[in-house]
Amino acid sequence: MSGVRPEWWRFAALLALCAGLFAVRDAHAISIELKDVAPDRIERQRAHEAGRLRLADTPDVNRLAARLEEAGVKSGAPILMRVFKASSELELWIEKDKRFILFATYPICHWSGTLGPKLKEGDKQTPEGFYTITQRQTRHLGRWRSAINLGFPNAYDRAHSRNGSFILMHGGCSSVGCFAMTDPVMREIHDLTKAAIERGQRHVPVHVFPFRMTERALAAHAGQEWHPFWTTLKEGYDSFERTRRPPRISVCKRAYHIEDAGTETALADPPPSRRDRRKRNRFRNDAGGPGSIRVACPKPVVAEADTKGKAHVKTGEAKPADAQLATQ
């Protein structure tokens, strides 16, 4: 096999594992994989294998155009997705009149692991955190024509030495480390994502939560290892609940920093030339732009005395060292 680059073998093996090609089908093996949360995933896998589709509560994907018209939105408008692992749900929101409305809630047919973030390659965990999808992450991957690469690890993950690759949203109902949505649902999600990107939304936010981040739900998990991390994720959840707009998210000193969205549009400026893209690397999902995860510390607010002895506020500049802490 001379001439074949080693990373392509690694890509093929990881993609096959994510697709569940090596998964054992019996219920005992599945129960080990699922650990301690969302046991209904077993029943969904069985229903899928028996051909009992659609899964319960799945929107009618054959009526996409009609559903868009009924909601008063169009394909190509900016979108945002939220994943809730405990309830196995994926929400897709579409921008309408400068706010995002809930367009669809899809059941996730299967995801592996338990509540908590993905830490390393091969741990069979699905990630948690704030991710963004760019055009390059919607390309055809292996057997999945409509797969979307989630973008793990992001800047926060890299700052915490978390590693892994090719974490996807894809079709089917079997997966290790990815989110399996069934083929018809994944085609709809992929089409809406591609249309939004082609119309100018350079970064599509995907927020992955362990559960719906209410005060009550978070308090119920107060003694768990990942409670401090989940508290940080709740800030992003709360911001979107308040504004119905994607929050501004940055990574500073190995931590997420959340700010409510301003009045900026979710659409980006016209794409730069190929030469400018190479120079500025603007298509990286942590390179800035609406919906992206920025790698920089917010400007500090410093109180200074003016000539009349009264205090006033001046905004300082972020330190360059702080802005690079989460980069590769």
The active-site residue out of 178, 190, 207, 252 is 178
Residue 278 in any domain: the answer is no
- The b-or-e profile of 313-322 (16+ CB within 10 A means b, else e) is eeeeeeeeee
Active site residue 178: yes
Helix residue spans in the chain (DSSP H):
6-18, 27-34, 40-49, 64-71, 155-159, 183-198, 215-220, 227-243, 274-280, 320-323
In a domain, 322, yes or no: no
The total number of structural domains in the chain stands at 1
| Residue 153 counted as domain residue | yes
Tokens linked to 105: 């809630």
Which whole-number Å values give the CA distances from 226 to 106, 190, 195, 234, 273, in the listed order? 26, 31, 36, 12, 43
Residue 297 known to be catalytic: no
Query: At 80, which CATH number?
Result: 2.40.440.10
Question: Is residue 222 predicted with pLDDT exceeding 50?
Answer: yes
Question: Would residue 325 count as lying in a domain?
Answer: no
Residue 102 is predicted with a pLDDT of 98
Q: Residue 20 falls within a domain, yes or no?
A: yes
pLDDT band at 268 (very low <50, low <70, confident <90, very high): low
Residue 108 is assigned to a structural domain of this protein: yes
31 close to 42: Cβ distance less than 8 angstroms:
yes
Whether 109 is in a domain gets the answer yes
What are the DSSP calls for 284-324, one per residue?
Answer: STTS-STT-EE-SPPPPEEEEE-TTS-EEEEE-PPPHHHHT
**Residue type for position 103:** F
Residue 157's domain spans which residues? 14-259
- Contact in structure between 227 and 215 (CB atoms under 8 Å): no
User: 53-111 pLDDT, tens per residue?
Assistant: 678 889 999 999 999 999 999 999 999 999 999 999 999 999 999 999 999 999 999 99
Instruction: Write down the pLDDT at residue 39.
Output: 78
The one catalytic residue in 18, 48, 110, 170 is 170
Q: Residue 279: inside a domain, yes or no?
A: no
pLDDT above 80 (res 23): no
28 or 104: whose pLDDT is higher?
104
Residue 141 forms beta bridges with which residues?
144
Rounded CA gap, 219 and 92, in Å? 26
